[in-house]
Structure 1
Amino acid sequence: MGALAESMGIEMTLEDGVVVGRMPVAGNTQPYGILHGGATAVLVESIGSVAAALTSPGKLSLGIEVGVTHHRAVREGYVTARTEPIHVGGTIVSYSVPVHDDEGRRIATGRLTCLLRDPQ
């Protein structure tokens, strides 16, 4: 999963071919006590990169673009994200990654594009 995702408390599961990530808000906040936008981006890229790698075993999945639109603030609990494929090609894979709070409200929408390439 990677040291950054682990240090942020991100947990991943595979549910019916969809990578799902869960992250605590505590420890991942900005100075105002709300979930840091960068933490949400790490969650999006972490689970999206794993999903991309699962589409092409043996290839490296390299994030080449990530973006997050934040819809609402979260101060406590956990956030959960799910990968939704937009495009799955031989070398480029893109995902929409909606992120929800414990109440099921969408707090952000992420987008990730990964390059799939052979290891060197």
Structure 2
Amino acid sequence: MKEKIQKLLNELNNLKKNTLISDMHIQFIYLSTKLDILTAKMPINNKMLQPFGYLHGGATMILSESVGSSLSFINIYKKKNINVFNIEISANHIHSIKKGILFSKAKMICKGNTLHVIKIHIYNEKKKIISFCKMTNIIISKKKYDKKN
């Protein structure tokens, strides 16, 4: 089982090449055996700060959506003609932060055939909560999506 989990983490980390996830230096570091929890980390750098020197809320949202969408992806991984799209995300930013490493822990709350609801906690190295988010992902067939576009 450990080998399967490590393989999935490696695949997630390989998929991010040449994407925003890569540009933000997000690394997937933990996946539960039930595939219901995914954790990633992201170092804070100067490009992620707002003009007042604190982490920009948008950077937090990129981390949250990346981990939440990846958790949904892992859960539909074997279905070849399916896409995952985020249709709603909300965040409450509780504490500010200027430097360090952020961790994002996404947990599947509801895993339906067409919708996934995920809660995400963003915290620092001392496990102090920085933000918490809720997101909803839609699971849609590639054929239906391609017809619309």
Q: TM-score range by the shorter chain?
A: over 0.9
Unpaired runs of 5+ in structure 2?
Answer: 1-15, 144-149
Deviation at 1:30, TM superposition (A): 0.9
Deviation at 1:13, TM superposition (A): 2.7
| Higher RCO (C-alpha under 8 Å, 6+ residues apart) | 1
Q: Which residue of 1 aligns with 2:19?
A: 3
Secondary structure (helix, strand or coil) at the match of 1:51 reads helix
Residue of structure 1 in register with 2:120 after alignment: 97
Question: Structure 1, residues 14-59: CA drift from partner, whole Å, max 9, x if none?
Answer: 3223211111111311111111100100111001001011111232
Deviation per CA, 1:72-96: give whole Å up to 9, x if none. Answer: 0011101101111121100000100
Matched positions, count? 120
The residue matched to 2:63 in structure 1 has which SS? Answer: helix
Question: Is 2:90 aligned against 1:86?
Answer: no
1:31 to 2:56 alignment: no
In the alignment, the residues of structure 2 paired with residue 7 and residue 53 of structure 1 have an alpha-carbon distance, to the nearest angstrom, of 20
- Residue 75 of structure 2 corresponds to 55
Alignment of 1:20 with 2:39, yes or no, is yes
If each structure's helix is expressed as a fraction of its own residues, which one has the higher value?
Answer: 2
- TM-score, normalising length from structure 2? 0.76
The answer to which structure has the higher strand fraction is 1
Mapped partners of 1:15, 1:92: distance in 2: 20
Q: How large is the RMSD of aligned CA atoms in angstroms? A: 1.3
Residue 119 of structure 1 aligns with which residue? 142
Residue 100 (structure 1) shift: 0.4
Aligned AA for 2:124?
D
Structure with higher Rg: it is: 2
Q: Matched residues in 1 for 2:126 and 2:55: separation?
A: 15
Q: 2 CA distance for matches of 1:11 and 1:33?
A: 24
Q: Secondary structure at the match of 2:22?
A: helix
- TM superposition shift of 1:3: 1.1
